[in-house]
Amino acid sequence: MAECHPVGFQWVMEAKARGATVIHVDPRFTRTSALADLHVPLRAGSDIAFLGGLINYVLQNDAYFKEYVVAYTNAATILGEDYVDAEENDGVFSGFDPEDRSYDFHSWQYEGMEVQAASGQRDQQYQDRVAADQKSGVNKAGRGEAHGSGGAAIRGEIKHDDTLRHPRCVFQVLKRHYARYTPEMVEEICGIPQDLFHQVAEALVKNSGRDRTSAFCYAVGWTQHTVGVQYIRAASILQSLLGNIGRPGGGILALRGHASIQGSTDIPTLYNLLPGYLPMPHAHEHEDLDAYIQADSTEKGYWANSRDYMVSLLKAWWGPAATPENEFCFEYLPRLTGSASTYDTVMAQLAGKTNGYFLIGENPAVGSANAKLQRMAMANLDWLVVRDFSLIESATWWKDGPEIETGEMVTDDIKTEVFFLPAAAHTEKDGSFTNTQRLLQFHHQAVEPAGDARSDLWFTFHLGRRIREKLAGSRDPRDRPILDLTWDYPTKGSQDEPEAEAIIAEISGWNAKGEPLSSYQELAADGSTACGCWIYCGVYADGTNQAARRKPAGEQSWVAPEWGWAWPANRRLLYNRASADPEGKPWSERKAYVWWDPDDGKWTGHDVPDFKVDKAPDYQPPKGAKGPEALTGVDPFIMQADGKAWLFVPSGLSDGPLPTHYEPQESPFTNPLYRQQRNPARELHKHENNRLQPSGDEPGAEIFPYPLTTYRLTEHHTAGGMTRWVPYLAELQPELFCEVSPELAAERGLEHGAWATIVTARNVIEARVMVTERMAPLQVAGRTVHQVGLPYHWGPNGYARGDSPNDLTSVALDPNVHIQEVKALACDIRPGRRPRGPDRIALVHEYQQRAGITDTTGTEV
């Protein structure tokens, strides 16, 4: 966190100054480790074993927060008889189809019920509920992030055992699943010595419960794996068992990859989402608004109101053209026929199936997995538009990229027409960031952009305006979705920059009288409200830009509700009902956050209660209750159908209801826990430039004996577009370097300050050598293992130049969210600079041959 969020890290230092214990778990010793109380090095790719070890520790030692677990999690829920755990089946759960490489989740259901996922693969049930028998293509359509979380109980009552003893209750299933994740196993898999593991476990347990809470912070070190989502799930189980969710000083904080990536999923730039995590409709037959709502809404919980959210969104986009008669222009929305995720798009480009590409503040030639594949894919386009501050590698690969040097691409033969449009920086435009705390912070233009540089807002608005002008008067129904859009945003200044405030006002929404809305609870399904994103409803309440507020800390409460605006409803801590016990009293005075005031008949406290404000703790729903009314007074997790934190996930995830240790796609180790080596449901893409390496004891694995991990430095930002062209930053970290231990340097003849060549089945790069004790060798599975570290920011352009570590990585993805596994792979490293020209490719082929790599290597389930 000190490396990647130095300004945010000041709060960790503040907590430390007040007595908090800071534990840093990371394969390398970073600037965070230097300030932490404890650094726990582990083998990259082994965190589920570590977290599973902590879960097992907590369960075996009865160290869980019992009252919290019984009342607020689904620990007591009884599962159906058909469920078979990975523990009983060599590492694979029941319902796996090896042909399709996917799971049918029906055997994971609660006994007697069908549960709709509120997040994850919601549409898995569409087939069951609306259409006739069809093989579900939904996995491929990637409904991963839709809808947040939770599910709908369609019929029946949940069966549960509050004594947690029933053999099929979630608690017992959990215990059996993690029984072999002992401290000894953690040491064997992760390389963490047992006494160090115990230090962490005891500290965590000691600092959880009524009086103390502990928080986990993670970033892409956890998500960029073929089991990335399961990493987060493991932390979620652990924190739920310890009673740390929904409580001050607790929780799991996702530290994001850039300043507004939260915003980029809220108002999405993802192909499968509409604003507010409504799913993009799928091209099922006869799909209309009713069918869409029926498939995706739930009967209990707040997703039951998705019709209100959806209709209001359609009204924001199509205004008066959207009427009840035409289902509010629902048919204008584009439809999914499969996945259009970034890596699927790249594969389609390679196959010649896509013509054009917009890259807006994105540099895949450096920043995406298998950077060479990215460049080769772009060479298949008809046209490419790049918007950035400088001529990034994704704009110049066609004339000076690595493949021109090797001869794999010839500039004159590349037919792609490349447009470069300079972009304005955040200081040159109005706009907002949404950070990991769901906090919107508006920023104001300090100076107009120079020359031809323009903001993304300007570009999008004026592009749309010009297209509409060209289409004006058309009678083709295909043009109506564009012509019927409300596109009358005001502009300002000499450059006709659209007013960002007008847009945020539309996102927040208004009623039929044009009055700004205050809360998503005001949204209606009859067309009387418009709202560009239901979770952001209220950011412009009272006609005031709430996101622009900056009241200093000293002038308000410690929750600081008047700094910016957090969605939803300016609530700062989600699920905060869980900060009070089942009677509505805080678990302790020290950790009081929100509580029930019986005299007032309301929830009150330091934050906006994340609960129906007048729902008493002892509330029981009447029979047949639907939506939020179906949740009881002790259901803090209001986005879930059953109102509970899900220790076990009956539906919504592609790769299992419980996190399970699988080795990364490429690993020098075999999985000691199960015969199943890797995530059976992981997503692979076959291509001759995306060859995979053998692992474990497969022949040829010894050719790539060193685990490799990629990461970031404070001085640079992502793929370098914002930093490698800035002299003051470039000089701080001017060249690509690799980090190796003195022992590895001795073993491979690497010299500090000299060059190293690093090879995988995809490509070979060179880097300066940094020999450091901060990369400590680990003892894993009875032998010493050395890890190689590579910061990934570099490319051949700009002031700070170097090879790109993503040339080494492969496209192997988490199946839920299609995120690349660049945090744990395997490589060889040797002294000296890499070959130039065609010899570079020859070296890669030589390695492939030595390792016996074919087009099927590594692709087995």
d(CA 397, CA 807): 13
Q: Which of 207, 230, 455, 529 binds another protein (CB under 8 A)?
A: 207
Minimum distance between the CB of residue 355 and another protein, rounded to whole angstroms?
39
Is 159 an interacting residue with respect to another protein (CB under 8 A)? no
Q: Which of 89, 182, 199, 518 binds another protein (CB under 8 A)?
A: 199
Q: Which of 206, 444, 845, 850 binds another protein (CB under 8 A)?
A: 206
- The helix (H) or strand (E) run that includes residue 655 is none
- Establish if 722 lies at the interface with another protein (CB under 8 A): no
Contact 847, 703 (CB under 8 A): yes
Tell me if 472 contacts another protein by CB under 8 A: no
Per CB under 8 A, does 590 bind another protein? Answer: no
State in angstroms the smallest separation of the CB of 200 from another protein.
9
Interactions with another protein, residue window 735-794 (CB under 8 A): 735, 737, 752-753, 768, 770, 772-774, 776
**Choice between 585 and 768, CB closer to another protein:** 768
Q: How far is the CB of 723 from another protein (least distance, A)?
A: 11
Helix-then-strand count for the chain, H and E: 25, 30
Q: Which residue, 353 or 590, has its beta carbon nearer to another protein?
A: 590
Looking at residues 600 to 639 of the shown chain, list those that interact with another protein (rule: CB under 8 A): none
Segment interacting with another protein (CB under 8 A) among 8-16, 227-235, 307-315, 421-429? 8-16
Looking at the Cβ atoms of 82 and 751, the one nearer to another protein is 751
Sheet holding 565-566, edge to edge: 431-434, 439-443, 565-566
Residue 13 within binding range of another protein, rule CB under 8 A: yes
Nearer to another protein, 214 or 809 (CB): 214
Q: Please state the closest distance from residue 724 (CB atom) to another protein, in A.
A: 10
23: phi then psi, degrees, rounded to nearest 5: -115, 130
Interface segment toward another protein; rule CB under 8 A; list 13-21, 224-232, 470-478, 666-674: 13-21
For the CB of residue 29, give the shortest distance to another protein in the complex, in Å.
7
What is the amino acid identity at position 243? G
Asked if residue 182 binds another protein (CB under 8 A), the reply is no
* Local structure of 37: helix, strand or coil: coil
Binding mask 33-52 for another protein (x = CB under 8 A): xxx-xxx-x-----------
* Euclidean distance between CA atoms 825 and 767, whole angstroms: 17
Decide: is 412 part of the binding site for another protein (CB under 8 A): no
Residue 605's DSSP bridge partners are 594
Site residues (CB under 8 A) for another protein, limited to 826-845: none
Based on CB atoms, which residue is closest to another protein, 545 or 733?
733
**132 touches another protein by CB under 8 A:** no
With CB under 8 A as the rule, give the number of residues binding another protein. 50
Which class for 782: exposed (0-12), middle (13-18), buried (19 or more C-beta within 10 A)? exposed
User: CA 715, 721, 727, 733: dihedral to nearest 10 degrees?
Assistant: 30
**23 vs 861, beta carbon nearer another protein:** 23
CA 173 to CA 109: how far, in whole Å?
Answer: 13
- For the chain, the distance separating the N- and C-terminal CA atoms, rounded to the nearest angstrom, is 35
Under rule CB under 8 A, residue 654 binds another protein: no
Output DSSP code: residue 650. Answer: S
Nearer to another protein, 41 or 586 (CB): 41
H-helix segments, 319-455: 342-350, 364-367, 371-378, 393-400, 402-406
**Continuous segment of H or E residues that includes residue 839:** helix 838-850
Minimum CB distance to another protein, residue 193 (Å): 6
- Quick check: 19 binds another protein (CB under 8 A)? yes
Segment 660 to 699, residues that bind another protein, using CB under 8 A: none
Q: What are the phi and psi torsion angles at 154 (to 5°)? A: -80, -50
Query: For residues 586 and 791, which CB has a smaller minimum distance to another protein in the complex?
Result: 791
Closest CA to 152 of 301, 298, 303: 298
List 715, 766, 814, 821, residue binding another protein (CB under 8 A): 715
Nearest to another protein of 516, 734 (CB atom)? 734
392 binds another protein (CB under 8 A): no
What DSSP line would sit under 456-467, residue for residue?
A: HHHHHHHHHHHH
Give CA separation, 22 vs 17, 38, 445, in Å. Answer: 11, 7, 38
* CB-based burial label for 620 (10 Å; 0-12, 13-18, 19+): exposed
734 near another protein, rule: CB under 8 A: yes
When binding is defined by CB under 8 A, the residue of 288, 515, 731, 855 that contacts another protein is 731
User: Residues 592, 605: contact at Cβ < 8 Å?
Assistant: yes
Two structure tokens written together for 260: 């507004």
Q: Candidates 116-124, 564-572, 647-655, 723-731 — which segment interacts with another protein by CB under 8 A?
A: 723-731
Which one among 170, 219, 267, 800 touches another protein, defined by CB under 8 A? 800
Tokens 């906090």, located at residue: 439
Stretch that binds another protein, among 475-483, 711-719, 825-833, 842-850 (CB under 8 A): 711-719
Closest Cα partner for 68 from 549, 647, 529? Answer: 647
From the list 81, 99, 195, 542, which residue makes contact with another protein (rule: CB under 8 A)?
Answer: 195
Write down the H helix ranges in 594-667.
none
| Member of 24, 29, 708, 818 binding another protein (CB under 8 A) | 29
Q: Which amino acid is present at 841?
A: I
The nearer residue to another protein, 130 or 203, going by C-beta atoms, is 203
**Least distance between another protein and beta carbon 687 (Å):** 34
Beta carbon nearer to another protein, 33 or 56: 33
User: Two tokens at 257?
Assistant: 């990859």
- The C-alpha atoms of residue 6 and residue 621 are separated, in whole angstroms, by 47
Which residue from 500, 507, 649, 729 is in contact with another protein, where contact means CB under 8 A? 729
Q: Which stretch binds another protein (CB under 8 A): 112-120, 191-199, 271-279, 377-385?
A: 191-199
User: Judging by DSSP bridges, how do beta strands 216-218 and 252-254 pair with one another?
Assistant: parallel
Q: Which of 203, 559, 625, 861 binds another protein (CB under 8 A)?
A: 203
Of residues 88 and 202, the one with the C-beta less far from another protein: 202
CA 29 to chain centre: 24
Side-chain-side CA neighbours of 161 within 13 Å: the count stands at 14
Per the CB < 8 A criterion, the answer to whether 439 and 566 are in contact is yes
Q: How far is it, in rounded angstroms, from Cα 800 to Cα 583?
A: 59
Instruction: Pick between residue 180 and residue 774 the one whose CB is nearest to another protein.
Output: 774
Q: Is 109 in the site for another protein (CB under 8 A)?
A: no
Instruction: Examine residue 9 and tell whether it contacts another protein (CB under 8 A).
Output: yes
22-60 b/e (C-beta count within 10 Å ≥ 16 → b): bbbbbbbbbbbbebbeebbbbbbbbbbbbbbbbbbbbbe
Query: Strand 439-443 to strand 491-492: parallel, antiparallel, or no bridges (unpaired)?
Result: unpaired
| Minimum distance of another protein from residue 393's CB (angstroms) | 18
Q: According to CB under 8 A, which one of 472, 514, 550, 728 is a site residue for another protein?
A: 728
Choices 74-82, 226-234, 503-511, 728-736; region in contact with another protein by CB under 8 A = 728-736
| Residue (523 or 729) nearer to another protein, CB | 729
Is 846 in a helix, a strand, or coil?
A: helix
Question: What backbone phi and psi angles, to 5 degrees, belong to 599?
Answer: -70, -40
Please, which residues have CB within 8 angstroms of residue 433's CB and are 6 or more apart in sequence? 259, 260, 263, 426, 440, 441, 443
Q: Where does this chain bind another protein (CB under 8 A)?
A: 2, 6-7, 9-10, 13, 19, 21, 29, 31-35, 37-39, 41, 193, 195-196, 198-199, 202-203, 206-207, 713-715, 727-735, 737, 752-753, 768, 770, 772-774, 776, 799-800
